[in-house]
Structure 1
Amino acid sequence: MGTTTLIAVAATGLMAGVFFAFSVAVMPGLADLTPEHARGAMRRINARIQNPVFLLVFLGTAVVCGIEVFQGRIAGGLLYVLGCFVLTMAVNVPMNNRLERTDDAYWPEYLRKWTLWNHVRAACCLASTVTLLLGL
């Protein structure tokens, strides 16, 4: 296994863990709060996640997975690029932006849809990790 693949495996696994933690702990915890408090907490989480460490791993993983695609590990690379990076930019980020500019009434819909798509991101990251390990 080459260096790029090793980095991609570690990084996709790390991202799978981040999304898994949100799916099984953070979002259920927020669901226990009132919409006002949950929405406020999620807005703070969304602001704090935009930090250099997270962005380096999130964006860097897209880059190394793109390299993996060109090195022949197409399935593993695309699972992250499409199933995590593109999905995040096309679905979760717009939902986060809407959460910023709407009132608490949006929270139940946000919670349901955001969590569903987060499950997909977690599964795609895990699948990416496994397929990269298999050289696919």
Structure 2
Amino acid sequence: MLDRLFVPLVFIAAIGTGVVGGVFYAFSTFVMTALGRLPPVQGAAAMKTINITVINPLFMTAFFGTALICLALAAASFAWPSVTTARLVLAAALLYLVGCIGVTVLANVPLNDRLAAVAQAEEAAVWARYLDVWTLWNHVRTAASILAGALFIMALTV
């Protein structure tokens, strides 16, 4: 019974973590590099626009919907009949919740807020540090999301 209820959620979580990881992968591999090649004021302005437009139903559903599914799966993992599957599901869920959601809330969003609040005269100085630090934390989110997806897929195959 538990498998019939939660296996579809594991499948959806695998897709969700992959989608979110793919978005972050794009930023880590070329978007931030491209923004960094722009004059600082233009790069900062583009990032500010991205930070506003990312708050939309499609991305937020993938991002936070996956988190909600991960919470449910983490709780359900304690009742899962297969110990191996339970451990994989719990590890995947925690990896996404801590490495993606946690890092976003504690690192990337405060950096975004700082960039949004800075006066245009200070943007160039803030932008250089923002670019390096934000991208570093985005690498963490990317790896956490993709690895969580891989663990969810492994859980479906054991």
**Shared fold, TM over 0.5:** yes
Q: TM-score, normalised by structure 1?
A: 0.96
Q: CA deviation at 1:25?
A: 1.3
41, 44, 52: which one aligns with 1:39:
44
Q: TM-score, normalised by structure 2?
A: 0.83
* Distance of 1:130 and 1:67 partners within structure 2: 18
Q: CA deviation at 1:24?
A: 0.8
Please provide the CA RMSD for this pair.
1.2
| Partner-residue secondary structure (3-state), 2:38 | coil
Percent of residue pairs bearing the same amino acid type: 40
Question: Could you tell me whether the CA contact under 8 Å between 1:76 and 1:131 is conserved in 2?
Answer: yes
Q: Which runs of 4+ in 1 moved over 4 A?
A: none
| Consecutive unaligned residues in structure 2, runs of 5 or more | 78-88
* Distance of 1:75 and 1:69 partners within structure 2: 8
**Aligned position for 1:132:** 152
Spell out, residue by residue over 1:70-106, the C-alpha distance to the aligned partner (whole angstroms, 9 max, x if none): 1222100001011001110111000000001113110
| Consecutive unaligned residues in structure 1, runs of 5 or more | none
**Aligned position for 2:28:** 23
Aligned residue pairs total: 136
| Partner-residue secondary structure (3-state), 1:50 | coil
Spell out, residue by residue over 1:20-74, the C-alpha distance to the aligned partner (whole angstroms, 9 max, x if none): 0011111000010111000000000000000111111111010011112112221
Task: Give the greater-gyration-radius structure (CA).
Answer: 2
